[in-house]
Every structure is written in structure tokens, then in C-alpha cells.
Structure 1
Amino acid sequence: MAYNLIITDRADELIDSCVLYIINKLKNTQAASHLLDGISEVYDRLEENPYQFPNSKDDYLRRRGYKEALISDMQYKIVFRIEESTVYVVGLFHDLEDYPSKVME
């Protein structure tokens, strides 16, 4: 079964912000490119089977049905929820962030 993937405006903003930070502040275009490739890979997997990813480690988010997908070889995760045949990506966060407080419904 193929799932519809919806990237929320907030998730787009968080991804853009993160990529711009890596490029402009860290001066590491290779890392930014690697992150974007990783995001694309996760998106492909979400469209194929979002249930392959674990539930959120945060109790509050887990109770609301959120799951997390780690970006390969990086300390970033994509937070999403599934409603029927649609996957809603709500954010991209670094492992060190207090991301549960930043996830908006």
C-alpha cells in the first residue's frame, strides 16, 4: 500500500532553517547535502511503509500517535503521524533538541 506524504509548513520551515544553519553557520555544504539526501530517503520509506519506524520515545507524543524516523549517519530525526493512508511530517529535529515541546498540532 502506498501512503500519501504531507509535509507540513512547519516541517518545511524547520528543514529550511536547519539546512541554512549548516550551510551558513557551519560552512558545511557537504553535510547539508547529506542531510537532504537522508530526508529524501526517509520520505521514500514513509510512502512505502511508515509503520517500519518506531513510536516516539516521548510519552506525550507517543500517546498521540507520533513516530520517529532517524536520518542515517546523522543526529536528526523526522517526527510524523499516520492518519489512515496519509503520513503527516511535522518536523525535523536534532537529537539534542527538546523537540516534544516544538511539535505543533
Structure 2
Amino acid sequence: MNSSMNWRKDIPMTIYKVITLPLAESDIVNQTDYIAFKLKAPGTAINMVGGFRKTISSLSMFPQSHELDEDEELARYGIRKTYYKNYKIFFLINEKEKTVYILRVFHMLVDYKAKILKVFE
């Protein structure tokens, strides 16, 4: 077998632990409860929970590939974001611990900066 065909096996792949913080968990519950109970669409809410979980768990690989927030202050903290439908999922990477911390989950129309900065208070 040609060794050039196996070059990927020697590249270490870091798998990060992903921890959803209580505020982010609460954000997900609030978003999906609103859809399930106020909009009376429980099936949609169940699908959303699955979508949030899948998007969040995907951050265990290559979380650095996601952009820093466009707000300069949040970017200085190292806050990154990923998207699921019309929602932004904000997170921090702790390289030393190889851990991704999910901070908050907001609809794109929410003014989120002050709410995210409360995590650091």
C-alpha cells in the first residue's frame, strides 16, 4: 500500500468537550417552549431542540473554524458564534482544557451584547 495514501492517519485530531452552560440551556428551553406552547407547534419545537443539540455537538470538532463575533468587545473576549436557522449560538473555547462552553442562544433579532456580557459579571 502506498504510504502517501495514508497521510491523514498521522494528523492528530482534537475532540473538544462541549458544555452547555445553564443560561444557554435556559435560552433553548425558552425558545422551544415558546414555539411549542405559544405558537402551538410542538413538532417544530422538538425538531428545533434536535437541531440545536446537533449544531452544539458539532462544535466538538474544529470549533476555531467559526467566526469571532463582529462586536469588537465580544471578540476581545474570544466569543465565537455559529448558527442554527434564525438563531445564533455563542461560545468560548478554552484551549488549555480542550473545552467549548456554550454561553447563550438567541434569535438573530435580539440585542444580545449586554446579555452575553452578564456571563462575565
Instruction: Give the TM-score, by structure 1 length.
Output: 0.90
Q: Confirm whether residue 33 of structure 1 aligns to residue 74 of structure 2.
A: no
Structure 2 residues not aligned, in runs of 5+: 1-13
Aligned residues: 103
Q: Confirm whether residue 82 of structure 1 aligns to residue 93 of structure 2.
A: yes
> Which stretches of structure 1, 4 residues or more, deviate above 6 A after TM superposition?
none
Superposed CA RMSD:
1.2
Asked if the contact 2:67–2:82 (Cα under 8 Å) also holds between the matched residues in 1, the reply is yes
Residue 57 of structure 1: how far off its partner (Å): 1.8
More RCO (CA 8 Å, sep 6+):
1
Greater C-alpha Rg: 2
**Counterpart amino acid of 2:86?**
Q
Instruction: Give the TM-score, by structure 2 length.
Output: 0.79
Same amino acid, percent of matched pairs: 31
**Counterpart amino acid of 2:62?**
N
Output the CA distance in 2 between the equivalents of 1:10 and 1:37.
18
Structure 1 residues not aligned, in runs of 5+: none
Q: Confirm whether residue 95 of structure 1 aligns to residue 108 of structure 2.
A: yes
